[in-house]
Amino acid sequence: MSKRALEAPAAPAPASLAEELPAGKAALQLAAIALSLFSFVLWPGLVNVYQISFVFFGLQYVVLASSWNIISGFTGYVSFGHVAFFGIGSYTTAILVAKHGWPWYLTLPLAGLLAVVWAAFIGFPCLRLKGPYFAISMMGLNEVLRVVALSWESLTGGGLGITMPNAENSVSTYYAGLAVAALTVAMCYAIAHSRFGLRLAAIREDETAAEAMGVPTTRYKMYAFMLSAFWPGVIGGIVAYKLLYIEPDSTFFIAITVNMITMAMLGGKGTVLGPVIGAAILYTAQELVWWYIPWLHLIAYGAFIILIVLFVPRGIMGYLIDRGWVAKGVIQ
């Protein structure tokens, strides 16, 4: 063995961390992404309003599950109140549109930003809580927001909620949702393929060791938390505008948190594709059951959550990894 390993590499090295894909395979991947984006872009031209909405709400869950995955899947801090960021975004947009007459699309950056500000504010003290305590604190803070939205009637309209002026919005919100979903997934991809993502995973695996090995854990957890709050805030704004009506109980709704968690778990948390796959499958299944056997819908969902957690805790991606069809590790 040589001393060379301790010296700077002499030969030029590949630019990316992941192994270079064979050109053919890379082109195939690119083509698949382009094709699916293309079909999503075409969708509204081919179908009716209901079907546009159907896909829109699926995209909403792609955003939510992927964002939750950043703090909880990659970093290992289980946010059991992640819908709070969605709610903040919803209220930001609704208030600005209904009361101040802003165009809806201009409110979106602010919706995301306010969610990030709230994340920074609560993350600072809460991210030092471990395990179940962090989960409970997130749940509690979401309830605080819900009650504040209920009580602060001058700003939020209280329990009556906020109604926005009528508008033809199904196509515009669809494209906005599609763009946000694409950006969210792209961001997750970038995180997973960077040292930042690896360090988040190191925090998940062993926070003390990560800190001792040079990872500024406090700062990184904060970054991850803030990144995981931004897109839920934006999509919250878009959903509020799409519905043209929001009220506290269905906005800061714990079931939305559970939806994103279950979707991420079904697909495989801690992977980029997992939450996307999970959102697509679970959302479709939920809508089908809801459509055909409404009374069974939530019972079946409860049972489904239990079955996933007990029998495929590492999700579909985990299964594929175990079978050797997908490479192991944070980077796929």
Binding segment toward other proteins, per CB under 8 A, in 27-35, 55-63, 109-117, 308-316? 308-316
Q: Give the shortest CB-212-to-other proteins separation in angstroms.
A: 5
Q: Residue 213, interface with other proteins (CB under 8 A)?
A: yes
Pick 29 or 151: Cβ nearer other proteins: 151
DSSP for residue 18: S
Q: Which of 301, 315, 317, 320 binds other proteins (CB under 8 A)?
A: 301
Binding segment toward other proteins, per CB under 8 A, in 99-107, 171-179, 198-206, 237-245? 198-206
Pick 102 or 193: Cβ nearer other proteins: 193
Pick 39 or 151: Cβ nearer other proteins: 151
- Residues 37-76 vs other proteins: string with x where CB under 8 A? -----------------------------------x----
Q: Which of 41, 103, 132, 186 binds other proteins (CB under 8 A)?
A: 132
Q: Residue 22, interface with other proteins (CB under 8 A)?
A: no
Tokens for 131, please give them: 């395990």
Residues 75-94 within binding reach of other proteins (CB under 8 A) = 78, 80
List 103's β-bridge partners, or say none: none
Q: Give the shortest CB-113-to-other proteins separation in angstroms.
A: 20
Q: Residue 319, interface with other proteins (CB under 8 A)?
A: no
Give buried/exposed letters for 293-327 (b at 16+ CB in 10 A, else e): eeeebeeebeebbeebeeeeebbbbbebbeeeebe
Q: Residue 324, interface with other proteins (CB under 8 A)?
A: no
51 Cβ contact partners less than 8 Å away, ≥ 6 residues apart = 43
Helices first, then strands: H and E counts in the chain = 15, 2
Pick 92 or 137: Cβ nearer other proteins: 137
Q: Residue 298, interface with other proteins (CB under 8 A)?
A: yes
Binding segment toward other proteins, per CB under 8 A, in 40-48, 87-95, 111-119, 295-303? 295-303
Q: Which residue has the tokens 């033809």?
A: 168
Q: Which of 139, 182, 243, 312 binds other proteins (CB under 8 A)?
A: 139
Q: Which of 62, 65, 96, 201 binds other proteins (CB under 8 A)?
A: 201
Q: Which of 130, 171, 179, 288 binds other proteins (CB under 8 A)?
A: 130
Dihedral sign from CA coordinates of 282, 70, 145, 165: negative
Residues 217-236 within binding reach of other proteins (CB under 8 A) = 217-218
CA distance 153 to 145: 13
Q: Residue 27, interface with other proteins (CB under 8 A)?
A: no
Q: Which of 55, 71, 98, 126 binds other proteins (CB under 8 A)?
A: 126
| Rounded (10°) CA dihedral 85, 91, 92, 96 | 170
CA distance 145 to 248: 9
Q: Residue 129, interface with other proteins (CB under 8 A)?
A: yes
Decide: 67 and 215 in contact? Cβ < 8 Å: no
Decide: 260 and 182 in contact? Cβ < 8 Å: no
Residues written for the chain: 332
Give pairs for 8-12: CB < 8 Å, separation 24+.
none
Decide: 272 and 188 in contact? Cβ < 8 Å: yes
Q: Residue 241, interface with other proteins (CB under 8 A)?
A: no
CA distance 301 to 303: 5
Per DSSP (E only), the strands in the chain are 162-163, 245-246
Pinpoint the alpha helices (H) of 101-214.
104-126, 131-151, 153-156, 170-192, 195-205, 207-212
Q: Residue 155, interface with other proteins (CB under 8 A)?
A: no
